[in-house]
């Protein structure tokens, strides 16, 4: 285990702290209390811009000095933020830095994340303050990461963005003729006679029912791409300013998992650490959370992965904010580590007294009590995660890939027809969930990534698939991979144009099918699906009438006027296989699908019995001689696991013999280190 | 059968085609394929304004030349559109042509139907391009119709419209005193001291919850009238420009059936052909579609009726877009013809590759396949409808009239009280549906039309009824007609003022009732209705407490505090009869109502047994010696029909003897020509 | 009974009349008809500003002269309004008087209540017209009250209000540093470097989902306080202008019961009469209406209370507008009197012919019929209420107080966390309803009021409780009162800051509990609650995990991970008691709660058996030798009441012996006068 200079000495545990909100004596007391329960890392300075830059031309970093000092004095690790997630009120008053919303309304000072991403004034001010902070604190002892801005998000529709969009388009398309061709502007008389004709797609132009309902998908799609990049440019400007003074400390920005408005994959190479904030929605179970971890990890396989935020207790911004049951926080923390996290941090160290997050969970509540359940649980986890430091450099290794693509997400969810009721990520998650129950780990990848090494590739609802993307998938299949795709895949290319091909377009030949018609039915209407083995399951919402061209029928509709028409097919494609799933299967249908897919001899090493409620993950190193780590996470029910090889219980330090029967009841966690001589 | 010079030589079959979106070779191949399956007519040029007028002062009609040529070369019929349904982007940038929405926001370029109807710049440009196209193509061989704009729709709230509204009001009312009197502005201090005081009713002025919730109904009503006329003026300007060069080719604009924002009846006399687009909503069955056909036909009884658009497959803009079952397209096409259509056209010939309608149904899909179910069905219909050419000049003849009135529609649906939950067209349709099931055809008419010749007149929810309207209905009753009206009728006059009379106002004497109170109850609350014969049915939403003054009680409430109060009455009015239906009856109640109404000896010729699922319609000529055509349309189930006189099966050419028993199962269609010697 | 110079000679009965909408002969006829059925008081001039002030500098009060004359001539009482509820259209066109909405849109002329409360032009014009009217009619014979504006309501977000808000803040906080401290602006970088930085909280700044979803609660809270006061200043300016000419006639403004946007309690001292408009919502039963009466009465215990508006029949502005069953109007009228009303007036005398209220109930309908049910009922009530004149000066006397506080209402309903689903007034009403069913009358009071004399104090969901408020409640407990509070109480102080204390903050010591965690669960999730006596009830939405510190557990959770944790506790606090109710109990739970609370010996005089459907109220004088009045109101079902002492039936004049058994079936009413020698 060689030391990575960028690797913190201790497994980062702690998180966001706002000492600027408290008097000095409270800061000291809080830090003492936090340190006593295992907190070794705090994130500072997220929302303090006005303190540092109280007027044009005036800078004063003394607040940072003051709040860093007690942390530094205790030898704790520091994540230092740039304060650019919320510009100063005076700046909003005196310069054009706020956004214009999709109704065309210039915003005033308020909330946060309110800065126009192309505003020259904002960009200059953000880079300036980031540079000044880096200049002063770039060599700060204990500084383990830079944290730029906060939860980048949202879109702007101002004149500056409109102008920048035109420049972006000119760069992308070169000529207005090429733009007209690729935008397909002969539809509805949208021919642009010059780039000047172009306005951002908004409620004032193309959006007739919010941004998901656009008269011109490609304009909206390009605007999303442009805005995601404009925000990335803001990040880059700050990072460059930091790098001039702090060349070695890793830089990150906190992502938000499956967040639609930013194409994180295009951002990932600019980050040194992938970090993100995990706030599972009510109803999203462990499979969905696991998928989000896998998405984040998959953005940059070689880079550290940090859980930058999770709540130690409950959220505040939702209509309902349930508590986490005893043990659930610990389970979620270890699930994060199992999926690759090299740090687990909380929002927040202590609850604010005022404004919109005052009831958000915190380690220390308003009364700063240390005898609460939350503090006890945080302390227990703190004592345990210290041991996770040795996992640095290990990663989960999976043979199954799930394709996720922002273009497909954006394009699918704004499509007029065939249906408005398929939600991109929900559909991905539905395909994934049964694999999760079988203990099959996945990597979430781009459909354009190098897919070599994956035995099974999921590409459901891959709405966007141009020729290169199709060729990439075909290459993987030619190399022996099994591919599962289906309805609402291959519908358009990257210009949001339907290919002059049978559905599923550039994927049609690969799938060996042709789809002339797709039925779409209102909520509540279902169709029976009869599988080759006689099993009957159900489907809803969307129904491709699949004509097998070079494929075998594995399931057919059993009712509706298209009874007998194929619904699920499989094509033997040399060493590989391609499944086409034409209908939105119910849970039983998906289980049947996976039984059939995984029944292939080529996937024998992947298939596992379903064990709902028990998640098993392994983290290991490329170097097979190194130890590997097996995580047993009991999310629900009680389970028995037999140890196949001797192991060490990482949390207790206890040695466990091979053959040992372990019983785990939810929410128990085991982390087993096994010797690395598996070559 | 005399030749109408304006009558196309062939029954128009085909529809919208956008060859401008395709290279020349694709155009030729597509036309070949379309012609092979019976397409003889295409609509061209709907959205090509920028191509024809790419910059201020620059005109270039070569694109039209280019796309017309292959059609003309094949001897096909052409519907030529003016491109004014979507102005150029450059025009939106350089001139004030876009609309302002009801939030007061000036729109940017985008979507379509985005032009302000009073914009001088738009009006001039639209007339100019229409005139230039007509000048060039006015004598085009095969040109069967001009198609102005596209689906006129929507409202504008800009300064130009505000100014034009003031002029319109001055013309209507003469003086501000007269306006104040008829607007009843003493309510809520709305006195206008000059026309300058008046602003359009919008979210910034009178509308407190969208346009249906207005503090001043008459202002909103007049604004709707004004806007509908302003759009009509746009149409007229283009038509005049066309007429200067093309005096004989009929001119149309495609309507949209029950479309609320335009009073089509005021437009009808300006059109030479009534044409419309039929996209039945999910849940709207054949009765509702029939009613829409009847509405459109009834706009101008003497004029040709065209089905300008229907989808050959599915729509795209809805949340769910179901396929049409096999045979349904044919059934819908023949239903259109049965109800008077002299042409049946599709949107669209081939699917666009990009933008919001790329997944809208088309005869040729993206791959231009000709071996699809859609192409087969279109081809079958194409072969059959050729025979429909001989129906030109025939019309359905009905003795039942259904009154529909845009003023009543607008006024009812924006009324504060008694209820917000009665939907004008739904209520008309509910009254109509049972008649449809009995095979009783209807004409949809204005309540102000000459009603002579109708034995039965339906005037439900006739919210607006001033003294002239009431007198017109009374004249029909005096001539022997039976009239059915009821709740929410006669509530206001054309100035949206309640008459100083008992409810139902100017209709009260005619109905012989007085209504002092109207109960309105939340969804889910019902009241029992007991009929004179003891039958119990139910009613909901709105309940008039009817006091018979000069009428007989036919049904009374059986519960609620007003148990015993009359709910349905009938007045013997000389040779005629007037029914007052005071409550929103359920389906059983409506059936009971029609049993009683149709039981009148005077209506003996109209009454027919209920045959749900089988529609029967007749088209004939005023000249009774000419052949007539009987349509049997099996919408649901299986039916037996006995032929009463010998006939010819128009679709097969087969001669059928009198007495023959025919069995039809949905979705079968029969068109029977019977000899015309019925004098 | 001494004569109060401000007390009308007759019990005011009648209400809003708009004779300006009718010709002179109609006015006379209507007045005759109204007088014949007991109307003795009309409200005039509410919406006639433009008539009185038709152009800048031009005033003409002749319309008022004209409409007052026939009323005066008949010797009727007059409530004279200032017309400032709706400014003239010409004024909206020529001066900056309209509001800007929370989307930042300057409104145009329209609706009513559309004037910016800080507009200098509006303020000057309103004071001017009020003064001129008072100058002319200040000594009008029969003038019983001034009625300023109409249903003050709504908020404005214009530049003038922004500037006035900054002044208001400067006055409140003194320095920007103090504002920053109390606004807690270190959160999300909201530090204000000058008052100029501050903008109103709106959709353009802090509100992310309407005004209830704000990023900065204190800013929105202060803006609400400021706007409520700005409207009050408008009222004061008019009142001052009136007072200069009419020093003795009482002045009022019609309130709206539980209306959120105005803190009526801060207005009350400026009014001479508390008057309000009662339009019970569908589903709000007699308990809820009673609570609204009690709220209004409680605003100013020493002042007359008028019911300024109720509908004699039905409303018009709601989606559904049910009729009132026979007798319900009478029942509601007497309920108003029972709860303290010294006048009962209707909106309206006669129905308008046009605009949005033409279908609103009126005594005289459009046809001006006098033979309707409504007229009969109004006449019956009119004959009876004349006798209520003798109740002037009496008031209900209660030993139970319910705390209601606008700050708590505002703050609770915009809180992020723990839940968005607790509705302030609904929750108060839920606590109250069972008391109502037990016949226990309540006073609705401020939690900051002098609570001496109350044996039982309800303070549920008292979200805002700073140290002074907590001390006030503690004082009452120390004096022997029993206090009931619980979940979502004491969460913040008046600056919307969470105290640095255990939940419930400054109330924690008083309650003897500590709450470390509050669970919040989605709709449909319930938790069982087990009471000390074994009873099981249920709770939902919000669940405090209560740790008793100095309290006894009375109920505990019986399921969830916190089974066993306390849910309801009681603390013996010297002579008093404090109940803490940690969960949102269902109806059975609340009944159990009240059984236990009222079981206390100290409350023996208050407890009464539950008699749902029969309301009993008493009005009496401070002078116990005066007669008192007992109201029996049968809202539902049939009831027997035994007379304990001899009484006079006020409505029939009949003498009733002690011991008499009276049977009342809904909607019957009895008002019994008993001798006043109860000393």
Q: Which residue of B has its CA nearest to C88?
A: B189
In eight-state DSSP terms, residue A630 is E
Cβ burial, residue B618 (10 Å; 0-12/13-18/19+): middle
Residue C679: which pLDDT band, with cuts at 50, 70 and 90? very low
Average pLDDT for residues B635-642, to the nearest whole number? Answer: 97
B239-288 pLDDT tens trace? 999 999 999 999 999 999 999 999 999 999 999 999 999 999 999 999 99
Q: Check if A501 contacts B (Cβ < 8 Å).
A: yes
How many CA atoms, within 13 angstroms, populate the side-chain half-sphere of residue A265? 19
Question: For residue C467, what are its two tokens?
Answer: 């140290």
C88 neighbourhood in chain B, CB within 8 Å: 189, 191, 193
Which is nearest to C108 in space by CA: C118, C96, C120, C122?
C96
Mean residue pLDDT of chain C comes to 97
**What was the pLDDT predicted at A484?**
98
Whether residue B585 has pLDDT greater than 90: yes
Query: How far apart, in whole angstroms, are the C-alpha atoms of residue B271 and residue A187?
Result: 27
Query: Residue C417 and residue A360: Cβ atoms within 8 Å?
Result: yes
Instruction: Determine the pLDDT at residue C623.
Output: 85
The minimal CB distance from A89 to the residues C191, C201, C421 is found for C191
- Say if residue C678's pLDDT is above 80: no
Report the 10 Å Cβ neighbour count for C451: 22
Note the pTM of the prediction, 2 decimals: 0.97
Count Cβ atoms below 10 Å from residue B100 Cβ, excluding itself: 21
**Average pLDDT score over residue span C649-671:** 96
Nearest to B418 among C50, C87, C359 (CB): C359
Q: What is the pLDDT of residue B623?
A: 85
The total of other beta-carbon atoms located within 10 Å of residue B248's CB is: 11
Find which of C46, C105, C122, C323 to mutate to test the B interface (most B CBs within 10 Å of its CB): C323
- Interchain contact, A355 vs C104, CB within 8 Å: no
| Set of chain A residues whose Cβ sits within 8 Å of the Cβ of B90 | 193-194, 197
Contact B204 C21 (CB under 8 A): no
User: B51 contacts in A (CB within 8 Å)?
Assistant: 186, 191
- Candidates B51, B355, B372; nearest CB to A187: B355
Whether residue C631 is predicted with pLDDT greater than 70 in this model: the reply is yes
C92 contacts in B (CB within 8 Å)? 197
- C-chain CB neighbours of B183 within 8 Å are 354
**Which of B320, B325, B350, B360 is the best residue to mutate to test the A interface, defined by the most A CB atoms within 10 Å of its own CB?**
B320
For the stretch C77-91, pLDDT in tens is: 999 999 999 999 999
Q: Do C90 and B419 touch (CB under 8 A)?
A: no
pLDDT at B675: 86
Q: Give the pLDDT score at B7.
A: 83
Q: Which of residues 302-321 of C touch B (CB under 8 A)?
A: 313-321
Confidence of residue A608 (pLDDT cuts 50, 70, 90): confident
Residue B648 has a CB neighbour count (10 Å cut-off) of 17
Answer yes or no: do B47 and A186 touch at CB < 8 A: yes
Q: Does A324 reach chain C within 8 Å, measured CB to CB?
A: no
Going by pLDDT thresholds of 50, 70 and 90, the confidence category of residue A622 is: confident
DSSP state of C254: E
Contacts of B295 (CB under 8 A, 6+ apart): B257, B258, B404, B444
Q: Is the pLDDT of residue A3 over 50?
A: no
Cβ atoms within 10 Å of A678's Cβ, excluding its own: 12
User: C428: part of which helix (H) or strand (E)?
Assistant: helix C424-437
Question: Which candidate in A105, A417, A543 is best for mutational testing of the B interface (most B CBs within 10 A)?
Answer: A417
Q: Hey, are the CB atoms on B109 and A522 less than 8 Å from each other?
A: no
Tell me how crowded residue B32 is: count the other CB atoms within 10 A of its CB: 12
Q: Quick one: average pLDDT of B122-147?
A: 98
Chain length of chain A: 679
Q: Is A644 on the interface with C (CB under 8 A)?
A: no
CB-based contacts of A611, cutoff 8 Å, min separation 6: A437, A438, A439, A639
Contact between A544 and A515 under an 8 Å Cβ cutoff? The reply is yes
Active site residue C668: no
- Which structure tokens are listed for A498? 């339907």
Assign C651 a pLDDT band (cuts: 50, 70, 90). Answer: very high
Q: Which residues of chain C lie closer than 8 angstroms to B522, CB-CB?
A: 282, 319-320, 322
Share of chain C above pLDDT 90, in %: 96
Residues of C in contact with A372 (CB under 8 A): 516-517
pLDDT in tens, B500-514: 999 999 999 999 999
> Mean of the pLDDT values across residues B322-336?
98
From chain A, the residues in CB contact with C196 under 8 A are 93
Structure tokens at C145: 């009250």
Residue A4: the pLDDT is 61
Q: Does B54 reach chain A within 8 Å, measured CB to CB? A: yes
Model pLDDT, residue B607: 82
Is pLDDT of A320 > 90? yes
Among C616, C32, C140, C129, residue whose Cα is nearest residue C363: C32
Give C-chain residues touching B527 at CB under 8 angstroms.
Answer: none
Q: Would you say residue A679 has pLDDT above 50?
A: no
Would you please indicate which residues of A are annotated as catalytic (active-site) residues?
A: 151, 309
Nearest to B162 by CA among A144, C110, A475, C351: C110
Query: What pLDDT, on the 0 to 100 scale, is given for residue B186?
Result: 98
pLDDT > 80? residue A2 = no
The answer to whether residue C357 is catalytic is no
Q: Could A320 and C522 be called an inter-chain contact, meaning their C-beta atoms sit closer than 8 Å?
A: yes
Average pLDDT value for residue range C163-172: 98
Here the tokens at position B678 are 């019925």
- How many other β-carbons are positioned within 10 Å of the β-carbon of residue C277? 20
What is the CA angle B672-B677-B679, rounded to 5? 120
Contact: A367, C188; criterion CB under 8 Å: no
With CA atoms as reference, the chain C residue closest to A114 would be C205
Q: Which of C309, C384, C427, C668 is catalytic?
A: C309
Count of C-beta atoms within a 10 Å radius of residue C468: 12
Q: Does residue B678 carry a pLDDT above 80? A: no
Average pLDDT, integer, range B428-440: 97
Helix (H) or strand (E) holding B266: helix B264-267
Chain C partners of B197 at a C-beta cutoff of 8 Å?
89-90, 92-93, 109
Give the best residue of C219, C417, C495, C583 to mutate against chain A (max A CB count within 10 A). Answer: C417
Tell me the per-residue pLDDT of C364-386, one tens digit each, with 9 for 90 and over.
Answer: 999 999 999 999 999 999 999 99
CB contacts under 8 A, C 159-218 vs A, are 183-184, 186-194, 196-199, 201-206, 208, 214-218
Which chains pack against A, by 3+ Cβ pairs within 8 A? B, C
- By CA distance, what is B496's nearest residue in C? C354
Cα–Cα–Cα angle for B139, B145, B151, nearest 5°? Answer: 135
pLDDT digits (tens, 9 = 90+) for A237-295: 999 999 999 999 999 999 999 999 999 999 999 999 999 999 999 999 999 999 999 99
Residue where the block lists tokens 């094949």: B74
Q: How far out from the chain centre does Cα A584 lie? A: 24
**Residue tagged 């006890």 (tokens):** A376
Q: Note the pLDDT of residue C675.
A: 86
pLDDT, residue B101, reads 97
Contact (CB<8Å) B500/C351: no
What would the mean pLDDT of C98-124 be, rounded to a whole number? 98
Distance of residue B558 Cα from the nearest chain C Cα, in angstroms: 16
Token pair in block for residue C365:
């309908």
Q: Rounded mean pLDDT of chain B? A: 97
What would the pLDDT profile of B41-79 be if each residue is shown by its tens digit? 999 999 999 999 999 999 999 999 999 999 999 999 999
Label residue C6 by pLDDT band (50, 70, 90).
low
- For A282, B505, C313, the CA distances from C369, given in Å and listed in that order, are 59, 13, 14
- Tens-digit pLDDT profile for residues B457-510: 999 999 999 999 999 999 999 999 999 999 999 999 999 999 999 999 999 999
Does the distance separating the beta carbons of A373 and C517 come in below 8 Å?
yes
**Residue C98 pLDDT more than 90?**
yes
């Amino acid at each position: 285990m060689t030391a990575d200079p960028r690797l913190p000495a201790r497994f980062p545990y702690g998180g966001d702290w706002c000492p600027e909100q408290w008097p000095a004596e409270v800061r000291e007391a809080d830090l003492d209390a936090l340190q006593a329960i295992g907190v070794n890392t705090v994130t500072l300075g997220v929302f303090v811009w006005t303190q540092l830059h109280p007027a044009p031309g005036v800078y004063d970093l003394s607040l940072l000095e003051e709040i860093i000092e007690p942390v530094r004095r205790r030898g704790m690790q520091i994540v230092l933020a740039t304060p650019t997630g919320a510009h100063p009120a005076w700046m909003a008053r005196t310069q054009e830095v706020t956004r214009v919303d999709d109704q065309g309304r210039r915003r005033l000072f308020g909330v946060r994340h309110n800065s126009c991403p192309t505003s020259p004034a904002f960009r200059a001010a953000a880079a300036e303050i980031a540079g000044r902070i880096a200049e002063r604190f770039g060599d700060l002892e204990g500084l383990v990461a830079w944290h730029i801005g906060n939860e980048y998000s949202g879109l702007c529709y101002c004149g500056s963005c409109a102008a920048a969009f035109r420049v972006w388009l000119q760069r992308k398309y070169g000529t207005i003729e090429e733009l007209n061709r690729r935008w397909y502007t002969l539809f509805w008389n949208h021919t642009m006679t010059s780039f000047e004709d172009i306005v951002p797609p908004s409620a004032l132009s193309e959006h007739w029912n919010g941004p998901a309902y656009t008269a011109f998908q490609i304009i909206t799609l390009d605007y999303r791409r442009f805005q995601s990049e404009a925000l990335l440019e803001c990040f880059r400007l700050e990072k460059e300013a930091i790098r001039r003074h702090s060349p070695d400390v890793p830089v990150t920005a906190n992502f938000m998992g499956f967040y639609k408005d930013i194409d994180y994959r295009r951002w990932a190479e600019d980050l040194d650490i992938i970090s993100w904030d995990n706030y599972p929605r009510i109803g999203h179970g462990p499979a969905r959370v696991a998928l989000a971890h896998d998405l984040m990890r998959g953005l940059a396989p070689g880079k550290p992965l940090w859980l930058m935020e999770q709540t130690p207790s409950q959220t505040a911004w939702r209509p309902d904010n349930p508590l986490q049951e005893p043990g659930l926080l610990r389970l979620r923390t270890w699930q994060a580590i199992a999926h690759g996290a090299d740090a687990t941090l909380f929002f927040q160290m202590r609850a604010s007294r005022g404004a919109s997050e005052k009831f958000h969970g915190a380690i220390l509540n308003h009364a700063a009590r240390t005898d609460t359940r939350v503090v006890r649980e945080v302390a227990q986890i703190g004592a345990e995660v210290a041991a996770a430091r040795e996992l640095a450099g290990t990663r989960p290794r999976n043979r199954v890939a799930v394709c996720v693509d922002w273009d497909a997400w954006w394009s699918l969810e704004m499509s007029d027809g065939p249906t408005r009721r398929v939600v991109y990520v929900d559909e991905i998650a539905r395909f994934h969930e049964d694999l999760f129950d079988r203990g099959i780990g996945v990597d979430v990848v781009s459909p354009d990534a190098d897919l070599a090494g994956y035995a099974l590739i999921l590409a459901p609802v891959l709405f966007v698939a141009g020729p290169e993307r199709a060729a990439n998938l075909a290459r993987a299949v030619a190399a022996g991979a099994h591919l599962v795709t289906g309805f609402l895949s291959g519908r358009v290319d990257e210009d949001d144009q339907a290919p002059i091909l049978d559905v599923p377009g550039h994927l049609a030949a690969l799938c060996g099918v042709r789809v002339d018609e797709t039925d779409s039915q209102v909520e509540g209407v279902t169709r029976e699906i009869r599988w080759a083995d006689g099993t009957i399951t159900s489907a809803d919402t969307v129904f491709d009438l699949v004509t097998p061209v070079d494929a075998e029928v594995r399931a057919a509709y059993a009712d509706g006027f298209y009874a007998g028409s194929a619904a699920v097919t499989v094509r033997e494609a040399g060493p590989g296989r391609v499944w086409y799933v034409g209908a939105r299967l119910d849970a039983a249908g998906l289980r049947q699908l996976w039984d059939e897919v995984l029944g292939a001899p080529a996937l024998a090493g992947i298939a596992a019995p379903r064990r709902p409620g028990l998640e098993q993950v392994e983290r290991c190193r490329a170097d097979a001689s190194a130890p590997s780590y097996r995580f047993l996470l009991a999310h629900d029910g009680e389970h028995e696991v037999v140890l196949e090889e001797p192991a060490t219980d990482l949390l207790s330090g206890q040695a466990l013999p091979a053959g040992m029967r372990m019983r785990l009841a939810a929410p128990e966690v085991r982390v087993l280190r096994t010797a690395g001589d598996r070559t």
